[in-house]
C-alpha cells in the first residue's frame, strides 16, 4: 500500500492510498475559508458521559444531487473535496468536524450556570474515508482487492490517529443508507479519534473485568468459543466468525470476531485481513438480499483503547440494521431513547437462520 499526503485549499490533510505507484500531484483550486471548529465537550454529570457540542455542523452539506457530490473525483470546471480525477481510497479531514486538533482551547471550566457540567475543548480528529471513486457503488460490491485496501487503510489510520497526544480511542465506522442518517450518498465511512473512552467501550471493559474477577476467565474468549459453534453463526472461516449475538439489540445484527485475540486492526496478520474480507463481503451480501431492497446499516469497529485496557480487549466489528421488516424501521422510541432499555422486535436465532438462508451466489 502506498500513502501520499497532500493539502486541500483550506489546509486540511488529504491522503491517497494506492496499491501501485500513482502520481498524485493535483492541487485544490478552490477558494475556501479556513476551517473554524467551535466544538466543546460537556460532561453529563448524571450519566457520567461526555457530550460533544458542535453547532457549526448545522451548515454541512446535506444530500446534494449526484452530479454535485463533493466526494466524487474532480473534473474540469467541477472541483470537489478530492482534487485528483480518479482515486482508489482517499482519507481527508472532515470539513465540518465534531472534533478537531485545531479547536479553540480557551473554554470556560464549566457550562453557563452549571458548575458540575465540566467543559473541555472539542479536541480530536474526524476523517472521511472514501472507499472508491465510483459514486454508485457500495461496499458490498467493492470486490476483495478494494475491500482489502480499505482494511489496510483503517489499520493505517488507527495507528496514526492513536499516536496523536490526547487521543484515547480510534473508531472507524460506516453509515450506509439514507434511513441511517447518511447525508452524502457516495460510498464512504468515517473515523473519529476521541479524547475520551466512549461509554460503550467503558461498559465492555467493566464487564470483562468483572467476568475475570468472578470466573478467572476471559469474557471475550468465552463469547467467541460459545458462538463459534452455536446456533447463531451466519458465516465463518479459519480466522473469523460472524454471528448474531444472543442478546442482539438491533433487528438485524451480526458481530464479526477474529479467532485470534488481537486488540485492534493494526495487529491483524495479512491472512487475517484477507479472511475478514471474505466473511464480511459475504455477510454484507446477505444484508443486501434479505429483503427486496438492500438494508441500511451501520458498520462499527470496536477496537481496544489507545492506552487503557488493551490487554482485556478483543477486536470485533458490529454490523447492524434498523430495518426490522420490509418498509418497517426499528425506531428508538420511549424505552430505548428515554431509558436506554432496548426491546428487540426479532429473535436472534431466527435472524441467523434467515441470513444463512439468503442465496448470495
Say if residues 81 and 87 touch (Cβ distance below 8 Å): no
Spatial separation of the C-alpha atoms in residues 141 and 241, rounded to whole Å: 21
Spatial separation of the C-alpha atoms in residues 288 and 311, rounded to whole Å: 36
Largest CA distance in the chain: 65
The cell 473525483 sits on which residue? 73
Say if residues 128 and 91 touch (Cβ distance below 8 Å): yes
Say if residues 142 and 280 touch (Cβ distance below 8 Å): no
Spatial separation of the C-alpha atoms in residues 96 and 127, rounded to whole Å: 10
Spatial separation of the C-alpha atoms in residues 300 and 321, rounded to whole Å: 11
The cell 487503557 sits on which residue? 308
CA 263 to chain centre: 16
Given 188, 211, 239, 316, the catalytic residue: 188
Phi, psi angle pair for 168, to nearest 5°? -110, -20
Q: Does 186 participate in catalysis according to the annotation? A: no
Spatial separation of the C-alpha atoms in residues 172 and 241, rounded to whole Å: 20
Spatial separation of the C-alpha atoms in residues 57 and 65, rounded to whole Å: 20
Active centre residues (catalytic): 188
Amino acid at each position: 500500500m502506498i500513502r501520499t499526503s497532500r493539502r486541500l485549499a483550506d489546509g486540511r490533510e488529504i491522503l491517497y492510498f494506492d496499491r501501485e505507484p500513482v502520481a498524485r500531484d493535483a492541487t485544490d483550486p478552490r477558494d475556501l475559508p479556513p476551517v473554524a471548529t467551535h466544538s466543546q465537550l460537556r460532561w453529563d454529570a448524571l450519566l457520567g458521559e461526555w457530550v460533544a457540542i458542535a453547532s457549526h455542523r448545522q451548515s454541512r452539506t446535506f444530500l446534494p444531487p449526484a452530479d454535485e457530490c463533493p466526494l466524487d473525483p474532480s473534473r474540469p470546471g467541477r472541483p470537489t473535496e478530492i482534487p485528483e480525477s480518479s482515486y482508489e481510497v482517499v482519507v481527508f479531514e472532515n470539513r465540518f468536524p465534531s472534533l478537531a486538533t485545531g479547536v479553540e482551547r480557551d473554554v470556560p471550566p464549566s457550562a453557563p450556570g452549571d458548575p458540575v457540567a465540566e467543559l473541555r475543548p472539542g479536541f480530536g480528529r474526524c476523517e472521511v474515508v472514501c472507499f472508491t471513486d465510483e459514486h454508485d457503488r457500495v461496499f458490498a460490491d467493492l470486490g476483495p482487492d478494494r475491500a482489502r485496501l480499505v482494511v489496510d487503510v483503517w489499520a493505517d489510520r488507527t495507528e496514526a490517529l492513536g499516536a496523536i497526544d490526547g487521543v484515547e480511542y480510534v473508531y472507524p465506522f460506516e453509515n450506509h443508507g439514507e434511513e441511517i442518517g447518511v447525508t452524502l450518498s457516495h460510498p464512504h465511512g468515517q473515523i473519529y479519534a476521541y479524547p475520551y473512552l466512549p461509554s460503550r467501550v467503558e461498559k465492555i471493559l467493566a464487564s470483562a473485568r468483572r467476568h475475570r474477577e468472578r470466573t478467572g476467565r476471559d469474557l471475550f474468549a468465552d463469547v467467541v468459543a460459545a458462538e463459534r459453534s452455536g446456533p447463531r453463526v451466519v458465516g465463518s472461516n479459519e480466522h473469523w466468525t460472524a454471528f448474531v449475538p444472543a442478546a442482539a439489540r438491533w433487528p438485524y445484527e451480526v458481530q464479526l470476531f477474529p479467532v485470534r485475540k488481537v486488540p485492534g486492526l493494526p495487529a491483524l496478520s495479512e491472512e487475517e485481513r484477507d479472511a475478514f474480507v471474505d466473511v464480511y463481503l459475504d455477510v454484507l451480501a446477505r444484508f443486501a438480499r434479505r429483503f427486496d431492497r438492500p438494508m441500511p446499516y451501520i458498520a462499527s469497529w470496536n477496537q481496544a483503547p489507545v492506552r487503557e485496557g488493551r490487554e482485556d480487549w478483543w477486536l470485533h466489528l458490529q454490523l447492524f440494521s434498523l430495518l426490522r421488516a420490509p418498509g418497517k424501521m426499528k425506531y428508538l422510541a420511549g424505552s430505548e431513547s428515554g431509558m436506554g432499555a432496548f426491546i428487540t422486535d426479532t429473535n436472534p436465532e431466527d435472524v441467523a437462520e434467515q441470513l444463512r438462508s439468503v442465496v448470495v451466489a
